[in-house]
C-alpha cells in the first residue's frame, strides 16, 4: 500500500520517486532535502467482519533550512487535504485487495527540530480509510 500512496503523492505534488520522495525511509546516501513516507503501525488494520479499516502513514520531510523543509511538507499536506476525498486505485496487501475511500491528514505539518546534521524536519500523520474491494 505504501508504494501506491507514494506514487499518488509524487504524481499530485510533482515529485520524483527516488529523488524527492521515498517509500519507507531515506536512502543511505544522506539526502539533504526530501520526503519519506513511512508506514505507521504496519499493515492496514481491518475491523473483523466489516471489511473496513484504516492504514496510517507518517509523512516526514527534511531540508537544509526551516523554510525548505516546511515548504515541502506544506505542499504535500495541501495536495492531501484538498484532494483527500478521492478514491485511489485498488491496493493489495498480502492476499487482500483494498480501496482507499478517504485520506485525511491529521493536523498541519509540525516542526520537530533538527537532526544531527542540523537539517530541519517536519512531520504529519495521514489516515487512509479503506475497505475491501
- Between 125 and 100, name the one with better pLDDT: 125
pLDDT at res. 8: 86
Largest CA distance in the chain: 48
Quick one: pLDDT at residue 1?
A: 76
**Domain definitions of the chain by residue range:** 2-132
pTM above 0.85, yes or no: no
Burial category of 7 from C-beta neighbours within 10 Å (exposed 0-12, middle 13-18, buried 19 and up): middle
Which CATH fold would you assign to the domain 2-132? Answer: STM4215-like (3.30.2000)
pLDDT tens per residue, range 79-91? 888 765 555 656 6
Query: What would the pLDDT profile of 6-25 be if each residue is shown by its tens digit?
Result: 988 999 899 999 999 999 88
Amino acid at each position: 500500500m505504501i508504494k501506491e500512496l507514494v506514487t499518488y503523492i509524487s504524481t499530485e505534488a510533482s515529485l520524483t520517486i527516488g529523488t524527492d520522495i521515498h517509500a519507507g525511509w531515506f536512502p543511505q546516501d544522506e539526502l539533504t532535502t526530501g520526503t519519506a513516507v513511512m508506514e505507521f503501525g504496519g499493515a492496514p488494520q481491518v475491523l473483523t467482519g466489516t471489511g473496513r479499516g484504516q492504514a496510517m502513514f507518517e509523512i516526514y520531510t527534511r531540508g537544509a533550512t526551516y523554510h525548505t523543509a516546511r515548504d515541502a511538507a506544506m505542499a504535500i499536506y495541501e495536495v492531501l487535504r484538498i484532494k483527500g476525498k478521492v478514491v485511489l486505485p485498488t491496493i493489495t496487501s498480502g492476499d487482500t485487495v483494498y480501496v482507499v475511500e478517504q485520506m485525511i491528514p491529521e493536523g498541519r505539518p509540525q516542526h520537530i527540530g533538527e537532526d544531527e546534521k542540523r537539517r530541519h524536519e517536519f512531520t504529519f500523520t495521514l489516515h487512509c480509510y479503506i475497505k475491501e474491494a
